[in-house]
């Protein structure tokens, strides 16, 4: 509440619907001090389990699409209960009102749907979950808690047309493209709130889209950074370094840059990273670990085998190599210059417009947009 995340209208739901009621016996909360997910069992350590359940940390509840077994963390988290601060920030952005019908994409544990149902009534909330086991667990938890929201097992990218039109649609998974079905199933003037980003990195930003009066498009501003597990049909493509750099970096065209390492390898939620993703399409950026005062940052083209590498060293200018049909470093450098010249804008100045023809990003003015 002090940070402005939990608004007064959501306080009754926060008090009445604890996250702990929707968590399984074995959880993997993210330990902020350790910087990693840790296994916590309710049976073995009930105090720690309760402490993490109430903490403002994300809690992984499934690894590797359910193939994972055992207590050690798996390879990839694939379902979770989000940080309460993120949950209530997005619910605040959703601006629900009495009588609103809401479609949620990504049931997860069922907690988010329960919060909505506590405020709007169970008949006004539908949640879609692609994973059958996760959907069943969420349905069971909601029924036990006394808020039997309709949980649909299906592909959230298709929405749920049987319940349309909706006043609000909220996604609890990261997007790279807003599905057309969501715009069609949300009433004119309704809101779509979702984490959206580019393949440049794993980070997202919450976008708040208003559906146009003719129902053909939706447009709105971003409200701030987040990072979510991605919609399964929009997970990032894999990048195999050896398929790009078949020899060594010396095979590329060499140059240098005075830009500092921190512009590319700083805090992951820096708005500059988001801006670069918007301005350098179909590109993946990989920041390598720093060793002996040197850190390489790689860029890989996703439509061909173009690549670029900037090698940053403590106390010296960075050397740069690039190769392929796209001059990726030139694109990255131009995008960074564009961002600087506009005053290093934050997330809240960027927006997104979704039409039948595709997606376009913009800064300050929707009329001055570009495809993403």
d(CA 236, CA 162) in angstroms, rounded, equals 30
Q: Provide φ and ψ at 156, rounded to 5°.
A: -60, -20
Phi, psi of 291 (to 5 degrees): -140, 130
CB 104 within 8 A of CB 122: no
* Count of other CB atoms within 10 angstroms of residue 257: 17
Q: Is 151 helix (H, G, I), strand (E, B) or coil?
A: strand
Rounded to the nearest 5°, which phi and psi values hold at 259? -65, 135
Single out the catalytic residue among 82, 219, 306, 323. Answer: 82
Q: Has 238 been annotated as catalytic?
A: no
Question: How far apart are the C-alpha atoms of 310 and 43, rounded to whole Å?
Answer: 49
CB 318, CB 333: distance < 8 Å: no
Sequence-distant (≥ 6) Cβ neighbours of residue 198 within 8 angstroms:
176, 277, 278, 281, 372
Catalytic site residues?
82
């Amino acid at each position: 509440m002090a940070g402005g995340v939990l608004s007064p209208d959501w306080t009754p739901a926060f008090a009445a619907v604890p996250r702990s009621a929707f968590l399984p016996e074995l959880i993997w909360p993210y330990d902020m001090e350790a910087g990693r997910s840790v296994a916590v069992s309710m049976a073995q350590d009930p105090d720690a389990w309760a402490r993490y359940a109430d903490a403002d940390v994300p809690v992984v509840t499934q690894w590797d699409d359910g193939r994972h077994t055992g207590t050690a963390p798996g390879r990839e988290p694939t379902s979770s209960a989000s940080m309460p601060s993120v949950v209530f920030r997005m619910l605040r952005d959703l601006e629900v009102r009495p009588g609103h019908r809401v479609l949620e994409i990504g049931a997860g544990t069922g907690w988010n749907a329960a919060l909505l149902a506590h405020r709007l009534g169970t008949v006004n909330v539908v949640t879609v979950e692609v994973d059958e086991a996760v959907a069943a667990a969420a349905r069971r938890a909601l029924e036990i808690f006394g808020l039997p929201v309709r949980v649909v097992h299906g592909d959230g990218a298709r929405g749920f047309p049987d319940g349309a039109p909706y006043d609000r649609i909220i996604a609890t998974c990261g997007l790279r493209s807003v599905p057309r079905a969501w715009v069609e199933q949300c009433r004119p003037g309704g809101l779509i709130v979702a984490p959206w980003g580019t393949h440049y990195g794993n980070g997202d930003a919450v976008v708040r889209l208003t559906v146009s009066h003719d129902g053909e498009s939706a447009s709105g501003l971003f409200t701030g950074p987040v990072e979510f597990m991605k919609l399964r049909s929009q997970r990032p493509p894999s990048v195999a370094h050896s398929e790009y750099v078949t020899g060594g970096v010396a095979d590329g065209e060499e140059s240098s840059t005075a830009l500092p390492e921190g512009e590319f390898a700083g805090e992951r939620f820096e708005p500059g990273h988001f801006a670069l993703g918007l301005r350098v399409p179909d590109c993946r950026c990989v920041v390598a670990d720093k060793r002996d005062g040197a850190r390489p940052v790689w860029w890989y083209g996703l439509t061909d085998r173009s690549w670029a590498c900037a090698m940053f060293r403590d106390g010296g200018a960075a050397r740069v190599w690039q190769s392929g049909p796209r001059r990726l470093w030139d694109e990255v450098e131009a995008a960074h210059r564009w961002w600087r010249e506009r005053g290093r804008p934050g997330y809240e100045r960027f927006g997104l417009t979704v039409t039948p023809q595709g997606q376009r990003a913009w800064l300050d003015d929707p009329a001055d947009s570009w495809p993403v």
